């Protein structure tokens, strides 16, 4: 199993630090490290900006910190983009768009059980980037198919580069926007999303999966062709655990669940304890066990992580640092009990 389970730890990439070395040290403190995304360090390190590199039609304003789309600019730049479509370096993340990524790649990572990368997914990118008429480009029938193909290529190029550093590398496709497609007001229906995502995932190299901190239709996600699914179980325990049938299907085909259990918000973290978080997570596992999913299987195919990213704590990166530490402590506690 190239993606390790057995309660190893990882985290989502967006971090509040402004010091690259400090952020990398924190990422490396977990069992499965990753390259951090540090928007407080530079706007280029923003997850949407990084995904937008070389996307035709993008209008990036570093002063105002805005990211927009122009159809006229897309038409002008499309031919240039297509001329590079078979050039992997064109689709990788440049040093300008992430100092952190390239510093991470300079490290010795072969001895880690795995390493992880990430890129913003096409649904979230398409929802977030608006055109000159303030319309999300996800709704543009002429843009959407190209956008899915473009993002798949970028994910594959990054994964190939990470695998040179560690053969067990895998990718998170970050998709916070997936929680919105199930609203009647989204303008992008579930059936359209299912067709688009299935076609998209068929072009994305394995192993890969989806990470999001929101609360979408979990049955929908668990039945996609994913190798790993990362979620905020701290907030969404009741709704997620109700999807027992889909969880069993996901696990039975070898999927890995990343249980985001340790809160990273300043106030929430201050209210919690290691014992309570352990009880909360084990309560979910015990419920699933009562529904016919062996806890031994859950543990074998599980990783642990903080619940969410957080950029707005009054203590800057301290609470996030403490949450990483508590995630490791919780992992050791549960491994002693179950492994």
H-run or E-run covering 29: none
Question: What CA–CA distances, in Å, run from 164 to 114, 160, 208, 214?
Answer: 12, 7, 16, 32
H-run or E-run covering 208: strand 208-211
Please name the residues in contact with 131: beta carbons below 8 A apart, sequence gap of 6 or more. Answer: 68, 69, 70, 71, 137, 140
pLDDT at 25: 98
Terminal CA-CA length for the chain: 17
pLDDT at 333: 98
Distance CA 104, CA 115 (A): 10
8-338 fold:
TIM Barrel (3.20.20)
pLDDT at 193: 87
pLDDT at 317: 96
Is 175 within 8 Å of 181 (Cβ atoms)?
A: no
pLDDT at 183: 67
Structure tokens of 265? 């918000």
Over the Cα atoms of the chain, what is R_g? 19
pTM here is: 0.96
Predicted confidence pLDDT, tens digits, the chain (339 residues): 589 999 999 999 999 999 999 999 999 999 999 999 999 999 999 999 999 999 999 999 999 999 999 999 999 999 999 999 999 999 999 999 999 999 999 999 999 999 999 999 999 999 999 999 999 999 999 999 999 999 999 999 999 999 999 999 999 999 998 888 876 666 777 788 889 999 999 999 999 999 999 999 999 999 999 999 999 999 999 999 999 999 999 999 999 999 999 999 999 999 999 999 999 999 999 999 999 999 999 999 999 999 999 999 999 999 999 999 999 999 999 999 999
Task: For the chain, give every domain's residue range.
Answer: 8-338
Identify which of 263, 279, 278, 260 has the alpha carbon closest to the alpha carbon of residue 329: 278
pLDDT at 186: 66
Strands 228-232 and 208-211: parallel
Distance CA 253, CA 334 (A): 24
């Amino acid at each position: 199993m190239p993606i390790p389970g057995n309660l190893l730890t990882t985290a989502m990439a967006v971090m509040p630090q402004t010091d690259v070395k400090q952020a990398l040290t924190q990422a490396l403190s977990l069992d499965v490290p990753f390259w951090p995304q540090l928007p407080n360090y530079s706007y280029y390190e923003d997850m949407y900006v990084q995904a937008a590199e070389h996307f035709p039609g993008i209008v990036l304003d570093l002063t105002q910190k805005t990211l927009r789309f122009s159809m006229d600019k897309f038409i002008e730049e499309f031919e240039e983009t297509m001329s590079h479509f078979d050039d992997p370096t064109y689709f990788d993340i440049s040093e300008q768009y992430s100092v952190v990524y390239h510093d991470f790649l300079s490290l010795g990572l072969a001895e880690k059980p795995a390493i992880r990368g990430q890129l913003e997914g096409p649904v979230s990118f398409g929802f977030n980037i608006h055109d000159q008429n303030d319309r999300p480009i996800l709704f543009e029938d002429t843009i959407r198919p190209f956008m899915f193909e473009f993002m798949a290529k970028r994910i594959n190029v990054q994964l190939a580069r990470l695998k040179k550093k560690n053969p067990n590398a895998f990718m998170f496709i970050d998709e916070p926007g997936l929680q919105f497609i199930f609203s009647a007001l989204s303008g992008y229906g579930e059936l359209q999303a299912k067709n688009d995502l299935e076609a998209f995932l068929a072009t994305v190299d394995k192993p890969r999966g989806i990470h999001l901190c929101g609360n979408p239709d979990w049955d929908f996600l668990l039945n996609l062709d994913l190798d790993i699914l990362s979620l905020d179980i701290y907030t969404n325990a009741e709704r997620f655990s109700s999807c027992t049938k889909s969880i069993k299907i996901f696990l039975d085909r070898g999927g890995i669940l990343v249980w985001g259990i340790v809160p990273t918000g300043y106030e929430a973290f201050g209210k919690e304890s290691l014992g309570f978080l352990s009880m909360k997570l084990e309560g979910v596992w015990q419920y699933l066990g009562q529904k016919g999913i062996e806890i031994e299987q859950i543990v074998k195919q599980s990783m642990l992580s903080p619940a969410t990213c957080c950029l707005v704590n009054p203590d800057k990166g301290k609470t996030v640092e403490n949450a990483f530490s508590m995630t490791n402590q919780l992992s050791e506690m549960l491994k002693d009990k179950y492994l």
